[in-house]
Structure formats: structure tokens, C-alpha cells
């Protein structure tokens, strides 16, 4: 863990660093794939993912400072003992400045209380040091009082602790129900036609969740459910003609399979060829499949004025049967926008239900929509 002799000198000078943070984060926050082989480093000397890399755990669950940007991303659905439903998001970002003199840590927490119709969210931004860090040897990341760490190495069990101000507090245990997924060709997840645009994309596509949720001054309530976790390691950026992306993770209710989709959007509104949908088999093998994305309705943010897709019809071929499957992705609440008060990047990230053609709920999903409030620029 990094420490500082004088903690008061380690607090973030936010305005001096937000420009390079916004550029790097807007370009690289989430894994987006396509393409072929590439060089070993960026022009400014940061490492790039290499085909055939052998991952070593728990080491590769930890931080990789030789790369410019990295994030650990957990989203999930929870139920209390009375079957009241909640959605939650916890994200930890680590980014190094171009001159390598500063490492910043940004974190997001969000909670959707479905019954109460409340969406709570908060951001934290700190420099590396006493209040924020990401360990290299194993998964152990912290930003203020929020943390995500590996607590049982052989079983890869994690513990998440966080909250949203005094409104909500979470303490959750995350236990993998399936092996880790490595997306991409030969372990490299490509973003576009730029040969340096790539990431390592590691995912636990189905985590069993147990723990406690505390709302305001209420007594803690026991909760359980399922979550999805992405760990992305990258030094690359979006292509110049891309303005944002749409990402969806789907966990089917009655079968041990999941789907992951991301769509990179171009300035002309078209879908970039780097976009992909992949099924995750019961053995955690990713299987690519064609897809059709149709927006059935939209929602306009009263905070930013952005118009986001809302209800989505997603059609794809089931690699197990060869038959087309249709899924309706429907937000549990329209307003699940994170307004980007610190990092300056507003995006929609929300809990959704998944319906079939007969409007039966057959799964749960999380959906992320970026570049709608404003185009993501390099």
C-alpha cells in the first residue's frame, strides 16, 4: 500500500489533473474489441496488451501500472428478505498521467432502490496515497472508505464495501459461480482499427452475492443476488471517428449462460465494425454471435439534456441451438444517469430486466450508455 508522510499534501489537486483524466477516461473506460496484432507500447511508452499473454492469479487481479488506465467494475441485482429489489454499481479507476508523475483514482458508487423509486450515486477522486490505492500483488483497491479486495485467494472470493454518502451503505461478499472469462482474440480485446487500441478484458460473468445493505438510519438488511465484474487493463484510446458506446451484460435466469454486448458508435451514427456480442457458455468460453440492436424508446435527462436509448430489442443467434433469440432490455427506472460532477463525463448506467417475446422476465441486465451527453473526444 502506498502511504504518505504528510497526508495533507496528498489530497488531489483536482483542477490541475482533470484535463488529462477526462481525455484518458473518456477514451478508455470500458473494454471494446476488434482488430489484429499491434506494437508492444504506445508512443509515450505505456504497455499494450500482447497476444498469447499468460495470466497469473492473484497477481493479474491486481494493478498494472505499466498500463495507462485500469478499472475494476462490479454491477448487480440484489433482493432483501422481503424480496424488495435493488441494483448496484461499484467502479474503481486507476490512471497514470502522461509524464508518469501522478496517479489518480476515480470511483463511482450507485444504488437503485426500485420500490422507493430512488437512484443514488456518488463519485470520489483522489491522488494515489493514503486515501486511494491499487495494490499490484493481488486485488486490493481503495478510494476513501470504498474498497474491493480479494479475501479468499483459492476460491477468488471478493469483498466490496462502499455506499452513497449517508443514504446507503453496502458490505457484500462476491463468490464466483463460474470460471473467469477472457474476452478477445488470443487474450487481446481490440477497440478499433488503430493498431494500439486494445485491452486485456477479464470478467466474472456470474457472481453470487451475499451481505448487508443499510439505507439511511435504518437497521441493516440482509441481501443476496447476482453480480457481474469486469477488470480492464489498457493504454489505448477510442478511434477519432467514435463518439461513444453502448454496453450490456445479461444474466439469464434459468440457464447458466450470459451475454455481453458492446456497440461502438461513429460520428455518423453508424455502428463500428469493432462492436461485438458474445455469449458466455456454461464453461465460461466466449462465443461471438451476430446481433441487431433496435431502440424502442428513449429517455431525456433533465440534468444534462442527453437523450438516451431506453427500451431495447436485441436479437442474436444462439450458438447452442443456431436459432435466433430476441431479448427486450427494459430499465427498472428511466433515470439512472451518473452526471459526472468530478470527472466531467456524464453517462447512463442502470439496472434492467430482460424480457422474452411474450413479455416474461427471463433474466437481469446492466446497461451502460456513453457519449450521449457529449461526444467523447481524444
pLDDT tens string 132-151: 999 999 999 999 999 999 99
Torsion angle defined by CA atoms of residues 147, 151, 155 and 158, in that order, rounded to the nearest 10 degrees: -20
Contact of 238 with 378, CB cutoff 8 Å: yes
Residue with cell 498500463: 67
Q: Is residue 299 part of a domain?
A: yes
Span of 77-86, 163-172, 189-198, 281-290 with lowest mean pLDDT: 189-198
Contact partners, residue 255, CB within 8 Å, separation at least 6 = none
Higher-confidence residue of 5 and 45: namely 45
Written as nine digits, the cell of 169 is 451503505
Q: Is residue 87 part of a domain?
A: yes
Q: Is residue 376 part of a domain?
A: no
Contact of 80 with 73, CB cutoff 8 Å: no
10-68 pLDDT, tens digit per residue, is: 334 444 455 555 555 544 444 333 334 457 898 889 999 999 999 999 999 999 999 99
pTM for this entry = 0.90
Q: Which of 234, 242, 243 is nearest to 72 (CA)?
A: 234
Q: Is residue 196 part of a domain?
A: yes
Q: Which of 228, 186, 180, 174 is nearest to 202 (CA)?
A: 180
Range 80-100 average pLDDT: 95
Q: Is residue 66 part of a domain?
A: yes
Radius of gyration of the chain from Cα atoms? 19
Range 174-181 average pLDDT: 98
How far is CA 251 from its chain centroid?
15
Q: What's the pLDDT score for residue 23?
A: 54
Span of 2-16, 104-118, 271-285, 312-326 with lowest mean pLDDT: 2-16
Residue with cell 497469473: 56
Higher-confidence residue of 104 and 20: namely 104
Domain CATH for 300: 2.40.370.10
Domain boundaries, position 168: 7-370
Q: Is residue 1 part of a domain?
A: no
| 188 pLDDT higher than 50 | yes
| 363 pLDDT higher than 60 | yes
How many angstroms separate the CA atoms of 222 and 210, rounded?
8
Give how far Cα 21 sits from Cα of 55, 96, 158, 284, Å.
28, 9, 28, 33
Q: How long is the chain?
A: 378
Q: Is residue 334 part of a domain?
A: yes
Q: What's the pLDDT score for residue 21?
A: 52
How many angstroms separate the CA atoms of 149 and 156, rounded?
10
345-355 pLDDT, tens digit per residue, is: 899 999 999 99
How many angstroms separate the CA atoms of 3 and 1, rounded?
6
| 205 pLDDT higher than 90 | yes
* Domains of the chain: total: 1
Q: Is residue 378 part of a domain?
A: no
Amino acid at each position: 500500500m502506498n502511504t504518505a508522510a504528510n497526508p495533507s499534501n496528498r489530497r488531489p489537486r483536482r483542477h490541475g489533473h482533470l484535463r488529462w483524466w477526462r481525455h484518458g477516461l473518456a477514451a478508455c473506460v470500458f473494454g471494446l474489441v476488434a482488430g489484429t496484432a499491434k506494437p508492444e507500447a504506445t508512443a509515450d511508452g505505456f504497455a499494450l496488451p500482447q497476444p498469447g499473454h499468460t495470466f497469473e492469479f492473484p497477481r493479474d487481479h491486481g494493478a498494472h501500472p505499466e498500463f495507462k488506465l485500469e478499472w475494476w467494475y462490479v454491477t448487480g441485482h440484489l433482493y432483501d428478505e422481503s424480496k424488495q429489489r435493488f441494483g448496484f454499481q461499484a467502479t474503481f479507476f486507476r490512471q497514470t498521467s502522461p509524464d508518469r508523475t501522478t496517479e489518480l483514482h476515480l470511483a463511482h458508487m450507485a444504488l437503485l432502490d426500485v420500490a422507493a423509486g430512488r437512484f443514488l450515486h456518488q463519485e470520489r477522486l483522489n491522488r494515489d496515497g493514503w486515501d486511494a490505492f491499487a495494490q499490484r500483488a493481488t486485488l486490493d483497491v481503495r478510494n476513501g472508505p470504498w474498497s474491493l479486495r480479494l479475501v479468499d485467494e483459492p476460491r477468488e472470493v471478493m469483498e466490496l464495501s462502499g455506499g452513497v454518502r449517508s443514504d446507503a451503505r453496502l458490505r457484500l461478499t462476491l463468490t464466483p459461480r463460474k470460471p473467469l472469462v477472457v474476452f478477445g482474440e488470443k487474450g487481446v480485446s481490440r477497440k478499433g482499427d488503430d493498431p494500439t487500441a486494445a485491452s486485456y478484458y477479464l470478467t466474472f460473468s456470474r457472481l453470487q452475492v451475499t451481505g448487508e445493505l443499510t439505507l439511511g438510519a435504518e437497521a441493516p438488511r440482509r441481501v443476496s443476488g447476482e453480480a457481474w465484474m469486469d477488470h480492464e487493463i489498457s493504454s489505448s484510446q477510442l478511434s477519432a471517428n467514435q463518439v461513444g458506446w453502448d454496453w450490456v451484460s445479461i444474466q439469464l435466469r434459468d440457464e447458466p449462460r450470459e451475454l455481453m454486448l458492446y456497440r461502438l458508435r461513429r460520428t455518423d451514427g453508424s455502428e463500428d465494425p469493432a462492436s461485438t456480442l458474445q455469449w458466455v457458455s456454461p464453461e465460461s468460453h466466449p462465443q461471438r454471435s451476430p446481433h441487431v440492436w433496435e431502440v424502442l424508446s428513449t429517455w431525456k435527462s433533465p440534468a444534462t439534456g442527453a437523450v438516451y436509448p431506453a427500451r431495447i430489442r436485441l436479437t442474436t443467434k444462439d450458438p447452442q441451438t443456431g436459432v435466433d433469440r430476441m431479448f427486450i432490455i427494459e430499465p427498472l427506472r428511466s433515470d439512472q444517469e451518473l452526471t459526472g460532477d468530478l470527472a466531467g463525463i456524464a453517462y447512463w448506467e442502470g439496472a434492467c430486466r430482460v424480457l422474452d417475446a411474450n413479455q416474461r422476465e427471463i433474466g437481469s441486465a446492466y446497461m451502460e450508455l456513453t457519449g450521449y451527453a457529449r461526444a467523447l473526444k481524444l
